[in-house]
Structure 1
Amino acid sequence: MIDIDASAGEGGGQVLRSSLSLSLLTGTPITLTGIRGRRPKPGLMRQHLTCVQAAQAIAPGATVQGAELGSQQLRFVPAPVQPGAYRFEIATAGSCLLVLQTVWLPLALAGGASELELSGGTHNPMAPPFPFIEQAFAPLLARLGAPAELELQRAGFYPAGGGRLKVRIAPAAALQPFDLLEPGALKARRAQAMAPGLPRSIAERELQTLAGQLDWPGDALEVLPCRQNEGPGNALWARLEHEVLTELFCAFGEKGRTAEDVAREVARAVQRHQQTGAALGPQLADQWLLPLALAVAQSGRGATFSASEWTEHARTNAGLVERFLPVVMHVTKAQGNAVRVELLPRPLGQNSRPDPPGTRPRGSWFGNS
């Protein structure tokens, strides 16, 4: 059993999601207290509760205590994960991509193919949006040995939600870690915007402003058609396609915010990242930690990546990963805010991040025991 203070560090919903994934992957029971303790409305909200329910659904026999709206405590005892067809629905605009990330790796390593249908928010300001997952994160996961196909059927924006997507998760091969120290040469750059239920001119102004800020040509700009969701929405993102990977930076329109402000936010994010020469942006680095650590633990080989920023989100996630998996991370400063992150297999007998007093020994790190 691992006892987790979910209010520590970043103190948001990621602690819950990563803990559930790691519990399923390692067969380790967990107890969480102070769930989302650093948020204005602490405890499980609809999307977080759906993550818990999804983790329980893919592992028939798992037991859960505290799975109710507003709960700040949760006990989860995993069971073997079963591949198959699943449908998860968030009745709000909560991010269904975060639900996907909770179950993605456990299903990939379950020994068979799975197909998921998810509904809720697909383009959320406080979560990785669909384009980021499809174009930046999923290709890296496929290269690691865990391919998946993602299909956006309908976009869902806050506050109405109503988005829908399908995901086909192939059985993972043995995960093989690899280094990501430089992005490689820039092959293409593209800015895309969508504004369902709103005047097209909003998306056009965003693209023109972004092009002016970054000195991008007109043929790199595109207003995307979008199947109407249950309410209006607006998103703008810039995609950098490098030889080694693709990065994507996104911002969202909201009431009272100008199209030009949205564009300037994306442009600043692109510029900050490019100035460092690092491979991964801050969000992709955060997302990459858990799957890479799993590959390092499974293969017994280390890997290193560079990131343009090491956020509190990433620090919290790194500490959590080290409690479940036999890996140790070394983070060193690089140019500006950039960092170099090295993940190494933990030597036998070494516990780099001890469990708090009173916890029982953890289960095996791999397999659904």
Structure 2
Amino acid sequence: MIELDGSQGEGGGQILRTSLTLSMITGTPFRVTNIRANRAKPGLMRQHLVAVQAAAQVCGAEVSHAEVGSSALEFRPRRIKAGDYKFSIGTAGSSTLVLQTLLPALLYADGPSTVLVCGGTHNPMAPPAQFLQRAYGRALDMMGARVDIQLRRYGFYPAGGGEVLASIEPCAELRQVELIERGELCGAYAEAVVAGLPGAIAERELQLVGERLGWTGDQLKVIEPARVQGPGNALLITLEYEGITEVFTAIGEKRVRAESVAEAVVGEVEDYLSSGGALGEHLADQVMLPMALAGGGKFSMHRVSQHAITNAEVISKFLPVRIDFQQSIDHSVCSLLTG
């Protein structure tokens, strides 16, 4: 039984999600206390509870104290089962974070699987569906995983109602990769998503993106999705390189000007472009787990976040891998070594 303190390091939900994923794969039970202790509303929220319930269903686990608000739980996994799964968060909680908990584990199932998660698809402090499709999905593909992710319906806070569908093929062994160089820039574009809101919001966001990044025409796209339960806005910037794809996002909120939303995401892109790292902060954090499952790898990153350090510590409790960070002048390098 692995003992984990959820207040350690970054102290958020990633500690729980990483533990669930690796517990399923390794068959190792764990107990975690002080869940999300460093958050404004500590304990399990609805999206975290659904992640626990989904993981338990996928591997037939025994779980104790799994309820909204719980600050501790135990998880005892059994065998991962392939299947067609559907999970509904019931709120606008992040569907993508639930999905990311399950995807690596289902690579080790005894057959192909599908997972449909209903809830929010574009949330603050969570990767949007396009990040999973383009950035995380491409990294998995380079490691030999076959995962297809479809955004079936957009879902924004507070209405939710979004749908993300993933199809996962079993993978006997992930390949070790090194993601050190971005390579040449092959494509770059911005998408302003407006649902149930004036199109002028998207136009103002894209105008600022164009002015700051020097983009015009086909690089600036307005998306007005149908069948959305409530209003919402997201601005996404995608950079496609020879070696990697990155997706940067800002979510519109009430009483926040369109220009402020655009400023936030453009600032993040400019920060990334000024660095020498291949991966942005969030993608670096997410590829660490599949690289550890592959038994090793290396990547350069814009900066080492507390989130990444905490994730590395949790991974090392479940897998015999050493994760080292080395700082250079304009980037950092993360190395994963078995043993």
Assess same fold via TM > 0.5. yes
What whole-Å deviation, never above 9, does each CA across 1:325-363 have from its counterpart, x for those lacking one? 111011111233x211111111xxxxxxxxxxxxxxxxx
| 1:202, distance to aligned residue in structure 2 (A) | 0.3
1:321 aligns with 315
Matched with 1:283 is 282
**Alignment match, 2:305:** 311
2: distance between equivalents of 1:263 and 1:218? 17
Letter in 2 for 1:141: L
Instruction: Tell me the SS of whatever aligns to 1:58.
Output: helix
Separation of aligned partners in 2, 1:56 and 1:116: 14
AA in 1 matched with 2:260: D
Tell me which protein shows more strand as a share of its residues: 2
| Overall identity of the aligned pairs, in % | 48
* Aligned counterpart, 2:335: 342
Taking the TM superposition and a 5 Å limit, the aligned residue runs for 1:49-60 are: 49-60=49-60
Q: What is the aligned residue count?
A: 339
User: 5+ unaligned residues in a row in structure 1: which ranges?
Assistant: 297-301, 347-369
Match of 1:219 in 2: 218
Take 1:117 and 1:271, find their aligned partners in 2: how far apart are those partners? 34
- The residue that corresponds to 2:189 in the other structure is 190
Point out the more displaced range, 211-220 or 27-36. 211-220
Q: What amino acid is the match of 1:216?
A: W
**What's the CA shift string for 1:87-133, capped at 9, x where partnerless?**
10000000011111111111111121001111000011111110111
Which runs of structure 1 show a deviation greater than 6 angstroms over 4 or more consecutive aligned residues? none
Take 1:42 and 1:5, find their aligned partners in 2: how far apart are those partners? 13
Letter in 1 for 2:13: G
8 A Cα contact 2:96 2:164, kept in partner: no
Which residue does 2:77 correspond to in 1? 78
Tell me, yes or no, if the aligned pair for 1:154 and 1:165 is still in contact at 8 Å.
yes
Q: Which runs of 5 or more structure 2 residues have no equivalent in the other structure?
A: none
In the alignment, what sits opposite 2:47?
Answer: 47
Match of 1:18 in 2: 18
Q: CA RMSD in A?
A: 0.9
Within 2, Cα distance between the matches of 1:141 and 1:18? 16
Do 1:198 and 1:232's aligned partners in 2 also have CA atoms closer than 8 Å? yes
**Structure-1 separation of matches of 2:283 and 2:137:** 11
Alpha-carbon shift at residue 292 of structure 1 (Å):
0.7
Contact 2:153 2:227 in 1 (8 A): yes
**Deviation by residue 1:135-181 (Cα, 9 ceiling, x = unmatched):** 11011112212111111111001111110121111111411111000
Structure 2 CA distance, aligned partners of 1:183 and 1:57?
Answer: 38
- Which residue is 2:173 aligned to? 174
Aligned partners of 1:96 and 1:121 also within 8 Å: yes
Is the 1:146–1:173 Cα contact (8 Å) retained in structure 2? no
Q: State the one-letter code of the partner of 2:237.
A: A
Could you tell me how far apart the structure 2 residues matched to 1:79 and 1:19 are?
14
Higher relative contact order structure (alpha carbons within 8 Å, sequence separation ≥ 6): 1
One-letter code aligned to 2:110:
G
Does the aligned pair in 2 maintain the 1:111–1:172 contact within 8 Å?
Answer: no
Q: Equivalent residues in 2 for 1:97-246 (5 A)?
A: 97-246=96-245
How far apart are residue 31 of structure 1 and its match? 0.3
Q: Is the 8 A contact 1:153 1:163 kept in 2?
A: yes
TM-score of the aligned structures, taking structure 2 as reference length: 0.98
